[in-house]
Structure 1
């Protein structure tokens, strides 16, 4: 008799778990509360679906700063290269873009979803949409099935929870999986938004003087209360009416929450370096060289190639320099003050956009209570977890979806396997 598996959640990890379990010979039923599958999947990668990242495993793990090491065992069973093969073998041509990001050649997330749906049909997975699970049924420490909201009971030998986190609730991710896990005795670590824009009450933010200004290839850092750098990311960013956003800010966001919690403070210091390739001394020398080459030019015109004009004028204000002043009139103190601004403009930030506006959920079902080799609960026999529901989180760039696919595959494979009695 085939192993009966119910998968709760038809997102990235649930789709992969369903395909894997059915391929391994199980009788699979996939339950999804939305009218259709893959609602959040269709939004990933700006609607293009960044399916994985073509970097070595260790580098991918480093880009999953929230408990990424938990995924090592899953990667040995199903790697980023296996993800690529999975789609290529199902007729999806892939292409590589900057930073190793892999996309379908069509540039449409729907291409990925349709490949999954065709595979589910081929494997005769029963798909039920518009289905709301009320609770997981457990007897004598083992799953027996699920109770649906309408009172129907679906029996099962194994259950895979792939319900996602609490980010982007409009996609259906409302945190039901945490409730099910908690009822099975699991610890849910504190949930917090990650990959979210950062907020600040700094005067220059409140005045909107830099609103809409983008900076390329800068280094954005979070400092702890002792002044030590917690994390630094060299990417692009943008100033907004509420704080900062863009790739560098999104990657720093989880560390804003962690540092505030660790330091027991309501704000943390953020530092911005617009000349990350230069040391402070080299930056000062660069300013001196420009002064020597064109002493008659105004500060505004003589230093205009260093950064966007709005940020240059803002820097002049911060360093108490008249931008109309000629370069040769600058004092050593003013030059040093501007170099300091270039390398270390600091301001306080007080949090991020809330979880319902974040791209990814931090926290979740404790990894200490999940077997990393199988994704099975250590507390309840036959209960498996995968995807964002688990307490791990990565940066944007194909890392979170890679985690979803590898944990989904691991859960599906082991849920379908015969037990060693």
Structure 2
């Protein structure tokens, strides 16, 4: 039987960082991965370019992890996003900053990050077992003692770090294996749901593909509750699709669609779309009044050209009952008011999101109250640690989830090594 100080189950982002951290702290470490290679999900993050972290302060990063981000405070005070940047730079990876603080390798290739992590593990003499699915974790009297592989082999260790991910993107190997082992150790799994997922709608304009493929830039998209109050608003780009809506603003709203439907006990929620969030309703009214005075002889379509993208403008005319070809000055005042209302607050219903398998990130997971936030160790089983997406926290895209993965991995590896070596 092979014995290690620390075993890491799952060779993804947080698992590799956990292995490196444990080895740097003097532990004899192995990574166990069921796929034939490490970092399958890492390779597809950031559109294949790997958005490694975000160049913002702690408070702002945690604010961008709306699902239980506060759980990460203690970890952030030991290792943060600036440490992640230093880690890669000191290991020969040059990073560059893009919009919204997103940090990428200068090569624009996820493989650069993966190869760096594998190279560091190699240098630290971390053993790597690939094509080695784990059957179960081994416990004895409230302590973890190792893992049993599906081929019958047992690997012993005084600490085991479970970094198996969630259930989003199962083609990368994230099939929720770790949840059953966490349950075996006495942990509660909060309900899983898709986050960072496109939103579905059965509205007629979606079904008849009126707006399909239309992108809107810098709009404000809101989720409304049953009292018509805004639950959340995100001002970013979006796109209409054949099943509903997608794009950055939509992905960020998706978890709130789930939470609102659950809280309000409804099958659908109302979305509100403001196509011109930087212009108040009053300013827009004045702007259109000026156009009526100055360009009123032109057709409505030509006079209001450029206000919003043409397809959206024609859709707005249709909703407001305006004739696009009639002179703008002939438009009834109440129709103009309806047009302004539509541009500033187009409301439509959404009935959920695409399923968890098509989402980027899993919401829900191991209850964070059952895990020590300073060490990532189970409060129920000595020597058992959890990192990354298996835990019940989730962030927006833009380098926030991967930041959580690197940080929880780093902290778990460090504390697991210290615990193992103290024995």
Give the secondary structure class of the aligned counterpart of 2:167: coil
Give the secondary structure class of the aligned counterpart of 2:186: coil
Following TM superposition, by how much is the alpha carbon of 1:152 offset from its aligned partner in structure 2, in angstroms? 1.1
Give the secondary structure class of the aligned counterpart of 1:157: strand
Following TM superposition, by how much is the alpha carbon of 1:418 offset from its aligned partner in structure 2, in angstroms? 3.9
TM-score by length of 1: 0.98
Structure 1: gaps of 5 or more residues? none
Give the secondary structure class of the aligned counterpart of 1:289: helix
The answer (yes or no) to whether the contact 1:144–1:155 under 8 Å persists in 2 is yes
Q: How many residues align?
A: 420
Question: Which whole-Å CA distance do the structure 2 matches of 1:418 and 1:157 have between them?
Answer: 8
The corresponding residue for 1:345 is 346
Following TM superposition, by how much is the alpha carbon of 1:293 offset from its aligned partner in structure 2, in angstroms? 2.2
Following TM superposition, by how much is the alpha carbon of 1:381 offset from its aligned partner in structure 2, in angstroms? 0.6
Question: Which whole-Å CA distance do the structure 2 matches of 1:99 and 1:284 have between them?
Answer: 31
Give the secondary structure class of the aligned counterpart of 1:336: helix
Give the secondary structure class of the aligned counterpart of 1:189: strand
CA deviations on 1:162-210 (whole Å, 9 max, x unpaired) are 0000000000000001111011110000000000100000010011010
The corresponding residue for 2:273 is 272
The corresponding residue for 2:158 is 157
Question: Which whole-Å CA distance do the structure 2 matches of 1:142 and 1:418 have between them?
Answer: 12
CA deviations on 1:251-291 (whole Å, 9 max, x unpaired) are 10001100000000000000000010122222211211221
The corresponding residue for 1:57 is 58
Question: Which whole-Å CA distance do the structure 1 matches of 2:339 and 2:22 have between them?
Answer: 60
Matches within 5 A, 1:15-414: 15-414=16-415
Give the secondary structure class of the aligned counterpart of 1:191: strand
Give the secondary structure class of the aligned counterpart of 2:314: helix
The answer (yes or no) to whether the contact 1:134–1:148 under 8 Å persists in 2 is yes
CA deviations on 1:381-420 (whole Å, 9 max, x unpaired) are 1000000000000000000000000000010010011488
Structure 2: gaps of 5 or more residues? none
The answer (yes or no) to whether the contact 1:3–1:416 under 8 Å persists in 2 is no
Following TM superposition, by how much is the alpha carbon of 1:80 offset from its aligned partner in structure 2, in angstroms? 0.3
CA deviations on 1:304-327 (whole Å, 9 max, x unpaired) are 111111100000010011111111
Question: Which whole-Å CA distance do the structure 1 matches of 2:94 and 2:86 have between them?
Answer: 10
Question: Which whole-Å CA distance do the structure 2 matches of 1:325 and 1:410 have between them?
Answer: 66
Question: Which whole-Å CA distance do the structure 2 matches of 1:383 and 1:28 have between them?
Answer: 14
The answer (yes or no) to whether the contact 2:216–2:238 under 8 Å persists in 1 is yes
Let me know the Cα RMSD of the aligned residues. Answer: 1.1
Question: Which whole-Å CA distance do the structure 1 matches of 2:86 and 2:174 have between them?
Answer: 28
Question: Which whole-Å CA distance do the structure 1 matches of 2:304 and 2:74 have between them?
Answer: 52
Question: Which whole-Å CA distance do the structure 1 matches of 2:328 and 2:24 have between them?
Answer: 71
Question: Which whole-Å CA distance do the structure 2 matches of 1:229 and 1:172 have between them?
Answer: 36
Question: Which whole-Å CA distance do the structure 1 matches of 2:269 and 2:189 have between them?
Answer: 26
The answer (yes or no) to whether the contact 2:4–2:30 under 8 Å persists in 1 is no
Following TM superposition, by how much is the alpha carbon of 1:3 offset from its aligned partner in structure 2, in angstroms? 6.7
